[in-house]
C-alpha cells in the first residue's frame, strides 16, 4: 500500500462541474503540497498546507491532520483545468512522498 493514496485516479467532468480530488496519507507529515502537472512534464505548485483551508481563485484545498486526509476542489471547472493533479506530503524536513496523481479531463 502506498504511503500517499489519491482518488480517483482518472476523472472526466463537463465544463462547469464542481470537482473534488482526494488524498489520504499514512505517514506523519509537516506539510502537504498540491501540484499540477501538464503534458510535457512541468510541475506547478498550487497549494502548500499544514492545516485548515486555502483558496486561490477557483481552487480550494483543505486538510484534516487528524484524519490524514486532504481534498482539492475545483469550482466551475474549465477545459484548461485538464491536467494531472498530484498530492505530495512533506515527511520530515525535506523528503516529499508523492501520490500517483489524478488525471483530470474537463470537456467543453
Partner 1 sequence: DTGVSQDPRHKITKRGQNVTFRCDPISEHNRLYWYRQTLGQGPEFLTYFQNEAQLEKSRLLSDRFSAERPKGSFSTLEIQRTEQGDSAMYLCASSKEAKAFFGQGTRLTVV
Which residues of this chain interact with partner 1, rule CB under 8 A? Answer: 4, 30-31, 33, 35, 40-45, 48, 86, 88, 90, 93-101
Nearest to partner 1 of 80, 95 (CB atom)? 95
Place of cell 465544463: 15
Min dist CB 94 to partner 1, Å, is 6
Measure the CA–CA gap between 40 and 62, rounded to whole angstroms.
28
Q: Which is nearer to partner 1, 17 or 22 (CB)?
A: 22
> Cβ of 98: how many Cβ atoms within 10 Å?
16
Whole-number minimum distance, CB 1 to partner 1, in Å? 14
Is the CB of residue 38 less than 8 Å from the CB of residue 83?
A: yes
Amino acid at each position: 500500500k502506498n504511503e500517499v493514496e489519491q482518488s480517483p485516479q482518472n476523472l472526466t467532468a463537463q465544463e462547469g462541474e464542481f470537482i473534488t480530488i482526494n488524498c489520504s496519507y499514512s505517514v506523519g507529515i509537516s506539510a502537504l503540497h498540491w501540484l499540477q502537472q501538464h503534458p510535457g512534464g512541468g510541475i506547478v505548485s498550487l497549494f502548500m498546507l499544514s492545516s485548515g483551508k486555502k483558496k486561490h481563485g477557483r481552487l480550494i484545498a483543505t486538510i484534516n491532520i487528524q484524519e490524514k486526509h486532504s481534498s482539492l476542489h475545483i469550482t466551475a471547472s474549465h477545459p484548461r483545468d485538464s491536467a494531472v493533479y498530484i498530492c505530495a506530503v512533506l515527511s520530515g524536513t525535506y523528503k516529499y512522498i508523492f501520490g500517483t496523481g489524478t488525471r483530470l479531463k474537463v470537456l467543453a
